Amino acid sequence: MNKRTNEQMNETKIPKILILGGGYVTITASRGLKKAIQNKEVEVTVVSRENFHCFHGFVGEMITGRVSPGSIISPVRRIFAPATIHVANIENIDLDNQKVSVSRLSDGSMYDLEYDHLLLALGSADNLEIYPGLKEHGHCLKTYEECFRVKNHILKMFERASICTDPEERKSLLTFVVAGGGYAGTEIAGELSDFARLLTGKEYKHIQREECRVILACKSSRILPELYKGKGAAGYGNGHPSLVKYASRHSAKLGVEVMLDTQVKAATPSSVHLSNGEIIPTQTIINAVGTKSQEVIEKLNLEKDARGRIILNPDMTVKGYNNVWAAGDCSALPHPKGDYCPSVGIFALKGGEHFAKNVLRKIRSKPLKAFSYIGIGQGVSIGRRTAVVELRGVRITGLLAWIFWRVLLVYYFPTWDRRLRLIADWMIWPVVGRDIVEMSIGNADDMGISNNLYPAGEKITDLARSVTYEHLITKGEVELIYKGVVLDTLSEGDYIREKFYQSTDGVYAQAKTKVRTISVKKQNAKILEAIFNKKKHHKLES
Report yes or no on 444 lying in a domain: no
For residues 271 and 405, state if they share a domain: yes
Which CATH number do you get for residue 508? 2.60.120.10
pLDDT, tens only, 233-254: 666 677 899 999 999 999 999 9
| Number of domains the chain contains | 3
> What values do phi and psi take at 265, rounded to 5?
-100, -25
CA 253 to chain CA mean position, Å: 27
370 found inside a domain: no
Which of 363, 398, 414 is a domain's end point? 363
What domain range includes position 32?
13-124+292-363
Q: Provide the β-strand partners of residue 168.
A: none
Helix count and strand count (H, E) for the chain = 16, 31
Same domain, 357 and 404: no
Buried b or exposed e, range 97-107, using 16+ CB within 10 angstroms: ebbbbbeeeee
Q: How many angstroms separate the Cα of 522 from the Cα of each of 205, 259, 498, 501, 527?
A: 33, 38, 9, 14, 9
Whether the per-residue pLDDT at 530 is higher than 70: the answer is: no
Reported as a single tens digit per residue, the pLDDT across 200-227 is 998 999 999 999 999 999 999 999 998 9
Is residue 474 one of the residues assigned to a domain? yes
Cα separations (Å) of 402 from 179, 373, 385, 405? 24, 24, 6, 5
pLDDT of residue 533: 60
9-36: b or e for each residue (b if 16 or more CB lie within 10 Å)?
eeeeeebbbbbbbbbbbbbbbbbbbbeb
200 and 240 share one domain: yes
Q: Determine contact, residues 182/144, Cβ cutoff 8 Å.
A: no
pLDDT > 70: percent of the chain: 89
Average pLDDT, the chain: 89
Give percent above pLDDT 90 in the chain: 73
> In CATH, what number is assigned to the domain containing residue 70?
3.50.50.60
Instruction: Determine the angle formed by the axes of helices 398-411 and 416-432, rounding to 10 degrees.
Output: 150
Q: Give the tens place of pLDDT for each residue, 25-56.
A: 999 999 999 999 999 999 999 999 999 999 99
Inside any domain, residue 369: no
- Based on the fold, state whether residues 307 and 263 are members of the same structural domain: no
537 sits in which H/E element? helix 522-541
Window from 203-217, 218-232, 493-507, 508-522 with minimum mean pLDDT: 493-507
pLDDT tens for 56-68 read 999 999 999 999 9
Are residues 228 and 168 both part of a single domain? yes
β-pair partners for 73: 54
Q: pLDDT category, 1, cuts 50, 70, 90?
A: very low
Total residues belonging to the chain: 542
Rounded mean pLDDT of 167-191?
A: 96
| 368 lies in some domain | no
Dihedral, 162, 166, 168, 174 alpha carbons, nearest 10: 0
Q: What confidence tier does 5 reach under pLDDT thresholds 50, 70, 90?
A: very low
Strand partners, 213: 175
CA distances, 271 to each of 85, 172, 281, 459 (Å): 43, 8, 4, 10
pLDDT, tens only, 366-420: 999 999 999 888 899 999 999 999 988 899 999 999 999 999 999 999 999 999 9
Q: Last residue of some domain: 303, 328, 363?
A: 363
Query: What pLDDT, on a 0 to 100 scale, did the predictor assign at position 311?
Result: 97
> Can you give the pLDDT at residue 538?
47
The reply to whether 463 and 489 lie within a common domain is yes
Residue 376 lies in a domain: no
Closest CA to 353 of 34, 45, 4: 34
Read off the pLDDT of residues 70-115 as tens digits, 9 standing for 90 and up.
999 999 999 999 999 999 999 999 999 999 999 998 888 999 999 9
Q: What is the domain-level CATH number for residue 266?
A: 3.50.50.100
Whether residue 354 is predicted with pLDDT greater than 70 in this model: the reply is: yes
Same-domain pairing of 186 and 280:
yes
pLDDT in tens, 316-326: 999 999 999 99
Residues 247 and 194 in one domain: yes
- Show the 3-state SS of 398-456: HHHHHHHHHHHHHHCCCCHHHHHHHHHHHHHHHHHCCCCCCCCCCCCCCCCCEEEEECC
Specify whether 97 is located in the same domain as 169.
no
Helix axes 345-363, 24-32, angle to 10 degrees: 30
Q: What is the mean pLDDT of residues 430-446?
A: 77
In a domain, 440, yes or no: no
Claim to verify: residue 173 and residue 25 sit in the same structural domain: no
Residue closest to 272 by CA, chosen among 222, 225, 216, 220: 216
- Answer yes or no: is 500 within a domain: yes
- Given CA atoms 49, 52, 53, 56 in this order, what sign does their dihedral have? negative
pLDDT score recorded for residue 466: 52
229 three-state secondary structure: coil
Element (H, E) at 196: helix 183-201
Going by pLDDT thresholds of 50, 70 and 90, the confidence category of residue 493 is confident
At 159, is the secondary structure helix, strand, or coil?
A: helix
One domain for residues 410 and 349? no
Residue 372's Cβ-side half-sphere holds a number of Cα atoms within 13 Å equal to 5
Query: Do 264 and 187 fall within a single domain?
Result: yes
Return the pLDDT at 522.
Answer: 73
